[in-house]
Amino acid sequence: MNKTELIERIAEQTDVPASEAQRHFEAFERVVTETLKGGDEVRITGFGKFSVKERKAREGRNPQTGEKMKIAASKVPSFSAGNALKGAI
């Protein structure tokens, strides 16, 4: 399922136009993004938790040349499924 299909499904289940469902979904995306950028996490009880994980600097290889290279430390978004979501699957 892609973003468009998800928005259409939300619109169907909530009896609202797809344009309104899209606005709400995009607001959800913005709020989650801003919260993670601010260093906090988003917990939705039963569904899951959005957070930021820190990746340490490490050594990798250039796939074309095989040459060793340093990969800088970085922050990446993460999602952990909640128990209700895990149980539903």
The predicted structure's pLDDT at residue 74: 96
The predicted structure's pLDDT at residue 62: 92
The predicted structure's pLDDT at residue 78: 98
Task: Determine the Cα–Cα distance for residues 32 and 49; give it in Å rounded to an integer.
Answer: 10
Q: How many other C-beta atoms lie within 10 A of the C-beta of residue 31?
A: 11
The predicted structure's pLDDT at residue 43: 98
In which residue ranges of the chain is pLDDT below 50? none
Contacts of 81 (CB under 8 A, 6+ apart): 47, 48
Whether residue 69 contacts residue 60, with contact meaning beta carbons closer than 8 Å, is answered with yes
The predicted structure's pLDDT at residue 14: 96
